[in-house]
Amino acid sequence: MDIQVGDRVILKKQHPCGSKEWEVLRIGADFRLKCAGCGHQIMIARKLVEKNVREIKKKPC
């Protein structure tokens, strides 16, 4: 999967605030994601992100 810092990903399940869109802040063995709805930040394993992603919105150049 080609996910870069700054991209926005849409996951299968929504955050409790109602948003499904997350901004990628860090990439590695874990991803740091920031909720587009409420700004909450989480660390999640790469395997889980790749499994649950529905769509990738690339960062505008």
Each of the 61 residues of the chain gets a pLDDT tens digit; together they read 789 999 999 999 999 999 999 999 999 999 999 999 999 999 999 999 999 999 999 987 6
Q: Could you give the CA distance from residue 25 to residue 44 in angstroms, rounded to a whole number? A: 12
Q: Report the amino acid identity of residue 51.
A: K
Distance CA 35, CA 40 (A): 5
pTM higher than 0.85, yes or no?
yes
Looking at the structure of the chain, the number of domains it has is 1
pLDDT, position 59: 84
Q: Domain containing 51: what range?
A: 8-57
Q: What pLDDT does 26 receive?
A: 96
Identify whether 3 is part of a domain: no
Cite the DSSP H helix spans in the chain.
Answer: 46-52
> Could you report how far apart the first and last alpha carbons of the chain are, in Å?
19
Domain-located, residue 36:
yes
The answer to whether residues 22 and 31 touch, using CB atoms and an 8 Å cutoff, is no
pLDDT for res 1: 77
